[in-house]
Chain A
Amino acid sequence: MSKKYQLFQTRRQKSNPHQTRFTNMDPTANKSSPLLVPGAVAAQKPVAGSPMGSSYENQWLAPEEKQRGTSPANSRTGSDAKSSRASSDSGSPQITQQNPNQSQQQPRPTPPRKSQKDMTKAERRALQEQQRLEKQGRIAAGLPKSAKKAAELESTNKKTQQQQQQQQQQQQSSGNGDDKQKKKARAPKTDQNQVPWLMHLDSPKRPETSGNKDLHPAVLALGLYFSEHKIVGSNARCVAMLETFSKVIEEHRPPADATFARNIQKHLDPHIAYLLGTRPMSLSMRECIRWLKKEISDIVEEDPPLSDEEARSRLIEAIEHFIRERITMADQLIVQNGLQKIQDGEVILTYGKSSVVENLLLETKKKGIDFRVIVVDSRPLFEGKHLLRRLAAAGIDCSYFLLSSVYVALRSVTKVIMGAHALLNNGAVYSRVGTAMVAMAARDKQIPVMICCETYKFVNRTQVDSLVLNEIGNPDELVDTKPVFNSCHQTHPTPNESALSSWREQPNLRLLNLLYDVTPSKYITLVVTEVGLIPCTSAPVIWREYK
């Protein structure tokens, strides 16, 4: 079994150079139509193959990690290639002898007759089962019935879990094979939902906690929280992640041959990769990690070298310092700065739920200013409802609208204040999907738009549209619409279930749940940061000063 797997792998390596060339070339690729172009195997894959995967990870891992990251990968594939070449001779006679056996197996459910081959009956049966499931999975996905595609799928699944590389060598290979089957059976469903022009984005994954015994349990729990949307929001996720890493650092004891300082980086890498696998890193989390790696490398370069204890405590302290200064205190400063901008009689509109904006509004109320708030909300997360609850509890006069009626809401609004997930280098705001529409609508009515953003969220990258880098959420969240009693349609029976409940059976239908969008800088009047009130086009200057 393991030899068969390695055989797949060699084929995958050969096909790698082709697949990047043909990604996204075919805009009309209907997901259910079989591929006609032999080289364009990448047009229907849910996740791009390994070259793309590694470049995506390269965005999160710092440049010096890339060599460390890819070299173990290279060594792994190198060793596999060698072992596969050695076993290919024994592998191929197995394959040819499998097929006649298979044809005779189908009518008879009994185990195969004895033969003189190396594999035991159980192994052969498992192999046939594996091939049958594979074929089923491929047919269900409408993919060509070649093993090359299966290998590519396997390779991408491998990328997200580095642990399986060690497992495949041992007796757990059969269990691994089954695992692969389950993944392939799941893959067709996500395959179907892939929007053609968003193939470069990862579809939502589920965290695989089964194979990660080496990871700190706190990180596993954090990954689950992220994927279940229990922790949402840029600040919350960053703080949670940093605190968890702080715990990991505290409890990490390096192996005997390495110092703490040098080893901690390598130790954290699989954790970071795991978190990447659960939910793509937010841009601000990425900046935090970049800062963390810089701290670690600073400690490593310290001369004379620090002791383990010192390094650990230094690192933990640095993380605490970061959280306190650049997130907590920054929020307070932003509130102070923003308070100058809200006067009596104002009507403030906000979108979604931003922790900074919430603090600002609560502080304004405490200061005694007479103002009203309009909260605009949207599907499917309905984050605005939580904000609404808190504001109403504080006694603020609130109204609530859905995003589609924002023009009606804007009739009485004097200012729009929103939060951001990240601020890009060209001054654009990367934030919850829908922010761009509110900003555009406000701009059309000449209402000023203020963004509240801490400086740690300023990133050194640029996006010109929202599709180049985004996050795709779970499409099933769109299906769940509560039966709506709409007085406009009284004679129509309100449906008990949503019209889309069987969307997966519809071949031409797909749901897209985008999570972020990019607001062009021309819609934004002002950015409130802890260092002051700046125009959004000054973002790269701030990034340079405070990185």
Chain B
Amino acid sequence: MTLPTQLEAQVENFITRLKRRQVIGSYEVAKETAVILRQAVSMSRWRDADALIDIIKDLGGRLASAQPKELAVGNIVRRVLKVIREVVRGELDDMMDNDDEYDDDDDDGSYSDGINDESPPPSKNLSTTSSQIGSVSERPQLTVESSMFRLLADVSPATPDDSSDTPEKKAYNLKPLIIQEINEEIIADLETVYKGIADQAIDYIHANEVIMTIGKSRTVEEFLIRAAQKRKFQVIVAETAPTYQGHDMATALSKAGIDTTVVVDSAIFAAMPRVNKVVVGAHAVLANGGLVAVTGSQLLAAAAKHHATPVLVCTALYKLSPVFAYDAETFNITVAPNSILDFQQGPLIDKVTVTNPYYDYVAPELVSLFVHNLGSAPPTYVYRLINDNYDPEDTTL
């Protein structure tokens, strides 16, 4: 599907930067992806929602394959697809029952809560989006019943020829609605991610605690700084060799007035008896509740488990990915090994295999709680969050 050239140029630029890993941090990646997808919705030509969904899927697939381990890209694409479907469904609802009061499940309120999906009955999907049929049976029973009820009550919705002219009319309505939704639900949501997590900080940290963390995560940083405004506690930061992100984190925390100690990674187990809580950030959260986080996180979480210390993971919901890691190294990337064994070691380099993995897979059993921008969830609840935020058929882009 060809996109207008201006958009194409933007997309190519983004893809190139993704490939070179020039976009740093999943937050930036998510924002840029959302903006590009919004542009795609507004600039490309489509007549019905089907076509739009195909365009977005195609584009999303290209973006995701540019950097497959950067899961935030795929997440935002899936979100946009869900938004589109929800808007379309909502529109159909409005169209069908203009005289009916059944327009309470509007587009706006339904996905921002994320917990209880008030989406309109899926039977309407038979007309608009083609691939929802399989999912009808997976939807909770309640909505199926109401759809049956509505089938009996209203004859018109199920007929296909009704749908043939509605999408055309709706194409003009859908576009601003979809763009509005993308703006509100996705982009605006991204803006408030850090605030939403930091607001909960006080609920999790008591006075005189010793908190341990690893790596540099903006989420955790804001979490701890907000807690420090009301509570007094100490932080131990593991320095995460070889990137030494822990040093930056410690400097930032100490500048905010938190009593910080930097330790080497090897001292994590030694210092753990003294630690009350472990707070880490994540690069991505997988469908089983496992984490992809910076290297060393698995050590930290395992050591905490051995000392029965709770592990809190501060992530935003856009990091939630509906994919599984069948193998612990599925989502790991290796970066240049010269930061481990540099070229000054001379002839040693030829004889030795050096690996520098950037991420770590943390098993869901080691995590106590996920703190996200709309609340908190144990790892066993993650699959529900995924159901609420994504559509099942979007899992493979």
Contact = CB atoms under 8 A, between A and B. Distances in A.
Contacts of B328: 407, 411
A515 to B, nearest CB: 9
Nearest to A435: B266
A488 B353 contact: no
Contacts of A470: 270
Interface in B241-263: 241-244, 247-248, 250-251, 253-255, 257-263
Contacts of A514: 263-264, 267, 270-271
Contacts of B336: 485-487
A406 B24 contact: no
B251 A509 contact: yes
Nearest to B338: A485
B30 to A, nearest CB: 17
Contacts of B265: 378-379, 402-404, 434, 437
A466 to B, nearest CB: 4
User: A-side binding surface: helix, strand, loop or mixed?
Assistant: mixed
A466 B260 contact: no
A365 to B, nearest CB: 13
Given A392-B351, A492-B24, A499-B248, A486 B266 contact: no
Contacts of B271: 466-467, 512, 514
B268 interface: yes
A400 B340 contact: yes
B247 A486 contact: no
A401 interface: yes
Instruction: Name, among B258, B335, B352, B353, the residue most crowded by chain A CB atoms within 10 Å (CB to CB).
Output: B352
Contacts of A508: 253-255, 257-260
B132 to A, nearest CB: 39
B358 interface: yes
A398 B274 CA distance: 36
B303 interface: yes
A380 interface: yes
A441 interface: yes
B354 interface: yes
A490 interface: yes
B20 A411 contact: no
B335 to A, nearest CB: 5
Contact of A405 (B232, B239, B352, B357): B357
Contacts of A105: none
B219 to A, nearest CB: 18
A484 B336 CA distance: 10
A486 B335 CA distance: 7
Contacts of B338: 485
B251 A441 contact: no
Interface in A399-442: 399-409, 411, 432-434, 436-437, 440-441
Smallest CB-CB A-B distances: 10 pairs: A434-B266, A404-B296, A466-B270, A517-B270, A509-B254, A508-B254, A499-B247, A436-B269, A399-B353, A392-B351
13 contacts: A30-B259, A385-B341, A402-B265, A407-B299, A433-B266, A437-B303, A441-B299, A484-B339, A508-B255, A509-B260, A512-B236, A514-B267, A517-B270
Interface of A: 27-28, 30, 195-197, 378-380, 385, 388-389, 392, 398-409, 411, 432-434, 436-437, 440-441, 444, 465-467, 470, 478, 481-482, 484-492, 498-500, 503, 506-514, 516-518
